[in-house]
Amino acid sequence: MRVFFIGFGQAGGKIVDMFIEQDKRMQTQNFRGIAVNTARTDLMGLKNIELKDRLLIGQTVVKGHGVGTDNVTGARVTADEIDAIINAIDSRGTHDVDAFVIIAGLGGGTGSGGSPVLARHLKRIYREPVYAIGILPAPEEGRLYSYNAARSLSTLVNEADNTFIFDNSAWKNEGESVKDAYNRLNDEIVRRFGVLFRAGEVGKAGIGEMVVDSSEVINTLRGGGISSVGYAISEKISPRTKQSQGLLSGLVRKKEKTEEVLTGEDKSAKIIALVRRAMLGRLTLPCDYSTAERGLVLLAGPSDEMDRKGVEKSKSWVEENIAGVEVRGGDYPVQSDYIAAVVVLATIGNAPRITELLEIAKATKEDVLKSKEKRSTMFDDGIEPLFE
C-alpha cells in the first residue's frame, strides 16, 4: 500500500525518517512522509525527510524550543496550527495514498499531545483510514511519562482508525538505558511495519502466490482499538542451493516431479514455522494473542520460496489461536536473501502493559490532586493574605 507518514515529535520524526530511508534504499515509492515538531533542533537532526517537509509549529508559544513534557501545550499548538499541518500534507500529495500513519512517542509532549488532534482532523478531511503507531515509555522514564502516555493513548484510540503499539520497555535489554536502545528499537519498528505497509505493492520481483492488497490490511484494521505486530525472519537463503536447484531441475527432467513435491512440502513447513515464530515471539506490544479479534499474515521474500499451501495453513493456525475468525493474508515477492513473516493481531482485548500504564496514570493523577490540596490547606490557618 501507499502510506503517508506523519512523524510527530522527536521519536515520530526519527522513525518516519527511517521509513523514508528504507524506501530510498529499496528504490520503491511506497512511502511519503513529513515531520512535525515544536523543537527546531529535533527537525534539524533528520536526514532523509526533505527540508520543506519538516514543519515547525508553536513558534509563538515556545520559540522553537519544544514543549518539554507538556502534552497539553502540544495538543493546543497542534489545534491552533492545524491548517498549516494539513497544507504541508496536501502539498506533498495525497491523491494516491491508501492510508495515513501518524507515529509518535506517547510519553513526551509534542507527539503525545499533537497526534490525537491530528488524527481527528485527518479523519475529517480524508476518506482514507488514519492509523497511529504509538510508542509507550519505559517505566524508568518516570511517572509523568506514563501519565502522559495514558492520557494520549486513551484519546488517540478514539480518534485513529486503529492504533499499533510499540512498547519501549518490552524491547530494551536488561541494564540498557532506553536512550541507548533507540536506534535498535527504531530499526525493529521499521522492519516490521515496512513489511506490513508494503503489502499489495507489486515490485520488480513479480507477483505472489496469494496476492494481498491494501484493502485486506484495511479490513483487518477496521475494528479499531489497539493492535500488536509479530515478526520473524528466516535464515539466510543460500544462493548456492538456489543455483544447484535450478541446475538440477534443468538437467533431470524426469525426476523433477518427485523433487517438486518434496520441495513444496519443505517450503510449506518453513513458512508455517516462520509464522508461528512471528506470533509466539516478542510482539510490538506483548499481549495475549488469544484476545485478538482479527489477524493478518504476510510473507515477503523471494518468489521461489513462497508456497500457497504454507500460507493457507499458517492462516488457519492463526485463526485457531485468536478470538475472532477473520484471518487474512498472503505473500508478496521481494528480492531478498530472507523470508520475513508478519502477523498482525488486530483489536486485542487485553494487554497487561496497558492496564499497568493506566494504573500508574491513575495513581499519578491522584497524587497530583492531593499535593494541590495540601498546598491549599497549609496556609489555611487564619493568616490574612495580602490580597484576595
Residue 9 CB, shortest distance to ligand GDP, in Å, is 2
Q: Please report, as residue ranges, which positions from 10 to 69 form the binding site for Mg ion (by CB under 5 A).
A: 10
> Which H/E stretch holds residue 19?
helix 9-25
What backbone phi and psi angles, to 5 degrees, belong to 342? -125, 135
Residue 78 CB, shortest distance to ligand GDP, in Å, is 11
Radius of gyration of the chain (CA): 24
What type of residue is 286? P
Q: Please report, as residue ranges, which positions from 182 to 211 form the binding site for ligand GDP (by CB under 6 A).
A: 182, 185-186
Q: How many CA atoms lie within 13 A of 207 on its CB side?
A: 3
Among 6-14, 19-27, 239-247, 361-369, which window interacts with ligand GDP (CB under 6 A)? 6-14
State yes or no: 295 annotated in a binding site.
no
Residue 169 CB, shortest distance to Mg ion, in Å, is 17
What is the torsional sign of CA 57, 60, 63, 69? negative
Can residue 228 be called a binding residue for Mg ion (CB under 5 A)?
no
Strands 294-301 and 340-346: antiparallel
Residue 214 CB, shortest distance to ligand GDP, in Å, is 26
What angle in degrees, to the nearest 10, is found between the helix axes of 143-159 and 110-125?
A: 0
State yes or no: 107 annotated in a binding site.
no
Site string for ligand GDP, 148-187 (x = CB under 6 A): --------------------x---------x---x--xx-
Nearest to 28 by CA among 2, 46, 54: 2
Nearest to 166 by CA among 140, 147, 193: 193
Burial 342-375 (b: 16+ CB within 10 A, else e): bbbbbbbeebebbeebbebbeebeeeeeeeeeee
Query: Of 111 and 200, which CB lies nearer to ligand GDP in the complex structure?
Result: 111
State yes or no: 110 annotated in a binding site.
yes
Which residues line the annotated binding site? 10-14, 109-111, 141, 168, 186
Which residues line the annotated binding site for GTP? 10-14, 109-111, 141, 168, 186
Query: What is the binding site for ligand GDP (CB under 6 A)?
Result: 9-11, 14, 104-105, 107-112, 135, 137, 141, 145, 168, 178, 182, 185-186
Query: What is the binding site for Mg ion (CB under 5 A)?
Result: 10
